[in-house]
Amino acid sequence: MTSIEPRRGVACAAAATLAAALLVGRGSARAQDLPEELRTTEVRSTNGVVVANTREAAAAGARILYQGGNAVDAAVAAALALGVSEAEASGIGGNAWILIHLASGRDVAIDGSGAVPLRVNAPELQRQIDDGFEFGYRTVAAPGGLAALGYALERYGTKSFAQVVAPAIEIAEFGFRLPPHEHAIIGAYGWKLRSNPTMRDIFLRPSLDPWGLDHTFCMDELAATMRRLARRGVRDFYVGEIADEIDADMRANGGYLRKADLAMVYPLERAPVRGRYRGLDVVAFPPPAGGAAVIEALQILDRFSREMLNTDSVDTRVTMIEATRIALYDLYASQNAGPLEALQMLDPQRAAQRAAQIRPNRALRVREILDRDLIPPRQEGSTHISVVDSRGNAVAASLTFNEEFGACVATPGLGFPYNATLAFYDPASPGSRTYPRPGNALPHTMTPTIVLRGGKPALVLGGPGSARITSTVVGAIVNVVDRGMSPAEAVSAARVLWDGKQNPRVLIEMAAPNTDEDVSELIRRGFPDIYTLCFPPRPIDLLAFGGVNLAMFDPSTGEAVGAGDPRRAGVAVGGDKP
């Protein structure tokens, strides 16, 4: 049996070893060993790369790189394009968290969380949630995403908003086709889409059934709204005529959001959280996001040998599961206690103590990890963009509606869905940090992450997947750094994930190297609740396993390399030929 005792006092690996670990194409997994659903295409470019969940969005960002823009310009263009081509997950009515590494060496996190409206009636909101309606006008918070994108562009970009929104306008006007998993989402949420006339007109046939795979979606109203923003600027959404139209629609339909709430939206610059893994610097998004969990999990795994993590043993799988599980328990506790406790998660000595708790022969009991009950945060309906440019800038940006199609309402004539952020607060607990009180930012597990080698971007990644985001991001980093995988191999490799809930539920993709014997052994070791995904799966079932979009630099050539997660049709496009 491979020894997995935590290492103590291990020195950082030599620079040459780290460079070798990050060489592209050295992985043990091979694309031909994977099911078709887990295969992706790797893209190399001398002018940066953009990775997103639709080809239209990735190409929009790459087009901006080709036109001389930097990574921030490209990320904003891709995000706006995703609001068209992946409109169930994000858009100008949603929220965003943008992590930026500048070529100067500065790292900054821009928080575009949704803001709680001043008029929220907590008992009324709770009654609606209790009745099973976690969508609708009353669940809409003041969208922070567009403000964050506009701020990032103005402060750190080089292009105008009119320039970066142009590709999104073209996509909305000329149309796009959806991949199978997005069609499956429309089918699954058809009942919800039918509840709002504007939403059903955008996404459903006149018969109220989903369109076929060959249907070209056009979003003329959204194109018109974006043209207005191109002429008047982002502030029109928050203080101008668009804000007036939003206000009138919310008043007419019982929503809490008002123009005064929109006028108070302003993105916050936060200091990223930082840690170390195998001698590399890990920079991740701070509270209210889940970056501290990624760093703690990696620092726990740093106490185990690279040789051990580069095996497919059940011992290794248990170690990976437990490192993530411990870190997420600590994150949940910190989100209830406050940001200072999240900072304690970054302490390497704490990670060493946590690593010593891991027992490969059995799952830890909850009370062995945490001496209190916890409530994991909730979020659904999200997406991620990873960008690097040829100048050394990098952006990892995660965006969300907090639910597929968000609140599933749209103002007639504006053409975009709103977030459902208020449905994820706790209106029944006035003392809670998740009570819908103005100023309370909703905690979540989304984790834009940038790994630096020698102060320069080595890995840029993140993804959707609710509480499984930590497992997928940590797994992708280990795949590259410890297992020597290329970006495509790292995001495609069959996954074993902990799902982030309090009980130790494990999700396994039944593709090589995962086997039925592994499942039986994990059950024997104390993980009785296991969800196994067999191939070929339904497209919608793949969504449970996340969607890591990864960009990096190949240290041997200096090229940008990108790979999108095939589970969500992720695509990489280079800036040399968009």
As a three-state string, the secondary structure of 171-193 is HHHHCECCCHHHHHHHHHCHHHH
Closest to 246 measured CA to CA, from 267, 263, 266, 223: 263
Q: What is the pLDDT of residue 578?
A: 65
> What was the pLDDT predicted at 335?
81
CA 558 to each of CA 26, 53, 92, 387, 479: distance values in angstroms, whole numbers, following the listed order: 16, 25, 35, 15, 20
Q: What secondary structure letter does DSSP report for 492?
A: H
Name the residue among 87, 437, 76, 416 with its Cα closest to residue 245: 416
Instruction: Give the whole-angstrom CA distance, residue 304 versus residue 514.
Output: 21
Check: CB of residue 360 under 8 Å from CB of residue 441. no
174 burial level (CB within 10 Å; 0-12, 13-18, 19+): exposed
Q: Which two tokens stand for residue 75?
A: 């990320």
Total Cβ atoms within 10 A of residue 206: 7
Q: Residue 559 has what DSSP assignment?
A: -
At 16 the pLDDT is 40
Distance of alpha carbon 191 from alpha carbon 189, whole angstroms: 5
pTM of the full predicted structure?
0.94
CA geometry: angle at 202 spanning 381 and 399, to 5°? Answer: 25
Per-residue pLDDT of the chain (578 residues), as tens digits, is 333 333 333 333 333 444 444 544 433 445 568 999 999 999 999 999 999 999 999 999 999 999 999 999 999 999 999 999 999 999 999 999 999 999 999 999 999 999 999 999 999 999 999 998 999 999 999 999 999 999 999 999 999 999 999 999 999 999 999 988 899 999 999 999 999 999 999 999 998 999 999 999 999 999 999 999 999 999 999 999 999 999 999 999 999 999 999 999 999 999 999 999 999 999 999 999 999 999 999 999 999 999 999 999 999 999 999 999 999 999 988 887 666 777 889 999 999 999 999 999 999 998 899 887 777 766 677 999 999 999 999 999 999 999 999 999 999 999 999 999 999 999 999 988 899 999 888 999 999 999 999 999 999 999 998 889 999 999 999 999 999 999 999 999 999 999 877 666 899 999 999 999 999 999 999 999 999 999 999 999 999 999 999 999 998 899 999 999 999 999 999 999 76
Name the nearest CA neighbour of 554 among 18, 16, 19, 50: 19
Output the pLDDT for position 5.
Answer: 35
pLDDT value of position 9: 35
d(CA 102, CA 174): 34
Cα 341 to Cα 125, 346, 551, distances in angstroms: 30, 10, 31
At residue 328, the pLDDT reads 93
Handedness of CA 474, 475, 481, 486 (dihedral sign): negative
Question: What is the predicted pLDDT for the residue at 499?
Answer: 86
